[in-house]
Structure 1
Amino acid sequence: MERPGLKELLDDIHADKVDVIVVYKIDRLTRSLMDFSKIMDVLDAAEASFAAVTQHFNTTTSMGRLTLNVLLSFAQFEREVTGERIRDKIAASRKKGMWMGGARPLGYDNIDKKLVINEKEAKIVRLIFELYVEQGTAPDVAEELDRRSVRNKEWIGQKGKRKGGKPFRTQGVCTILQNPLYLGKMRYKDEVYDGLHEAIITTEIWEAAQTQLESQRAKRSDAKRTKSPSLLKGIIFDASGKPMTCTHSSKKGNKKYPYYLSRSILGKRKGNDDNALRIPAQAIESLVRDRVETVCKTKSADHEFILKVVRRITVFKNMVEIELNHGESGVDLKCAESRGDEIIIDKSHAVLRIRASLQTRDNQMAFITPSGYDASRVGKPDAVLVKNIVLAWKWREMLDNLKYNSIPELCRGEHQSEGYVRRLLPLSFLAPDIIESILDGKQPPSLDLKHCTTTELPHYWDAQRKLLGYIA
């Protein structure tokens, strides 16, 4: 019923321009019994008739209508069987690893219905995977690609118009990272089969990227509140001195993401209130718990414990003030000095002034101090840094065991860019105690992959410890 020609015919019938519709066979008009019934209603209303040249029946009699319905039923059956055969053929071809058309993937050209590597685009695909394994988040990769003026696939459409050639977006990067096509595989529904085309990336880089993707999902999952939905309820205020309320937003899968909001935002009365804030609960709670556990020398600051020690929390745009019950036993303010906080002491209470601003790190919001300290990452290994250290050690062993005689030869054999390999190899020469601290998540806050790969690492271990912030 949605065919343009059929719509035009029906419009002519409504306009009394048609007396009779003549077709070669009934199934030339439609193969749907329901659609034909609608067409006949339109013909009856306009007092028009219908005729098939090779099929003789009279629709004014019951026998004629029965004959017509039987013919249409067989026509519809034939259409459905044909559709099933086509779907089965596509499924069988997919399982054999054949390319069955669709959107043209970056890195390949469709030549004689086969995927052939386009080496110019394949370099972009490898770069995306390398940047993701190195930097750890899709938004960072998209930003770096844009900085390098790298664009997505460009082609000429059926109407001769040029399409694509636009900057990469986060979603586009994620789609490429999760597509097994680049590993020489073919996905059909929920199954993955060996493809007939060549792979662009190695199994090693694919697995590293998938591990990183899973790590990002886990981090987002860890952001959910578990026991207490509002750890700081009743003691957190914005810069205007107004209490902040805990609420949450929901996304796909019924996941809840808790936030602390200024009441002016909650009531949609923000107006000119520049102090109104909307803060992810995980970000501020991690910061407060870290400081409380530091000054109280404990590792389990729950809601009840925090209420006992903390009198008030005031959140500014670039600072957080935590007012503590100074007289409470077990509070050691000297420990806060290790975090670089400003301490104001009164008779009954003390205030920790923490210079920190809300920033995005590893695809989640966190309060970051000027020194790069992030309380939400304390005690958690940096998955991106760990993976790249492992990769560096693997390449170093290949060179040591003479599997490859030079770095350029290694790059060709492992399908990696030389710049990428040369940036990572120095990680294999880190001091053992530095590597151990990274694996335990106890490295200095400023020590991440970017710092390690943009700084020339000394050969001497003591110099490394000093440069990377282990010793003063």
Structure 2
Amino acid sequence: MTPTHAATGSKRFRYYVSRLEPGDDKNLVWRLPSGEIERLVIDAIAKAIADNAPASSEANIIQDQMAANSEVACKLQNAAIHEKRKILLDHSVKVQLLKEQLILSFKPQGEAERAEVCIDAKLAKQGSELKFTIPPTNANIKPAPNPILQKLVAQAFAAQELVLTGKPNPALSEYSRRYLGQLVRISWLAPDIIGSIMDGTQPVDLTGRKLTRANAIPLDWPSQRKMFGFT
């Protein structure tokens, strides 16, 4: 895939675009937000480095190498971007993207053989973009929360407070009564649905548009889970 970007006003959005061979249909191009791929790669490689057992029979060498691996894994997840890039280059990380799987390979420090990590991560449409949906089998790799959905949840509870107390909220002052009613309905969602939205584990096809356009959200939680694909 090739890195590219698009700009909207002062904002810049980074993407990876799949390469086409001469004569290929342009509609088959994959265009993925860079953060989606980079986050998956960094999380998976960091865990693989931390879990990698050195090929040695000496306890002190194994202990020292495991400690060093843990330090590198922690740095990979928390360091500045240029330091993360150096770690990925030092480990010769390669990424192969398939429709239902992400295959990563890297070269552990001090070892001749490459290690491989496979992640079950299906591509699915979310709004106008392709996103990865990660099944529970990869629970150690957490999906990124959707900021639009998170903002809707925050607005929903603010709208609920406005209705209950009548206290004006500047953040909601420009919304119509109809839209405020839609937000209040969102505040009725089951706690586990709200929790899933906030930590990013909601169904991949649950978008802000789908949530705000749901005019008949049931009051009982089992029906809500069924309506939005949680069961």
Q: Which has the larger radius of gyration?
A: 1
TM-score, L = length of structure 1: 0.28
TM-score, L = length of structure 2: 0.49
Give the number of the structure with larger relative contact order, counting CA–CA contacts within 8 Å between residues 6 or more apart. Answer: 2
